[in-house]
Amino acid sequence: MPARGELAPDFEALTDEGKTIRLSDFRGKKVVLYFYPKDFTSGCEMQACAFRDHYAQFEAANAIILGVSPDDVESHRKFREALNLPFHLLVDSDFSLSKAWESYGTKTYPDGLTFTGTLRSHFVIDEHGVIIDVQNPVSPQESAKRALEAVQS
Question: Residue 83 gets which letter from DSSP?
Answer: H
> By three-state DSSP, how is residue 9 classified?
coil
Q: Do residues 115 and 90 touch, judged by C-beta distance below 8 A?
A: no
DSSP letter string, 128-149: TSBEEEEESS--TTTHHHHHHH
Distance of alpha carbon 49 from alpha carbon 122, whole angstroms: 15
Which whole-number Å values give the CA distances from 43 to 37, 87, 125, 126, 127, in the listed order? 9, 18, 23, 26, 29
The answer to whether 49 is a known catalytic residue is no
Cis omega (within 30 of 0) for bond into 137: yes
Residues paired with 20 in a beta bridge: 14
Instruction: Tell me which of 44, 48, 90, 147 is the catalytic residue.
Output: 44
Q: Catalytic residue positions?
A: 44
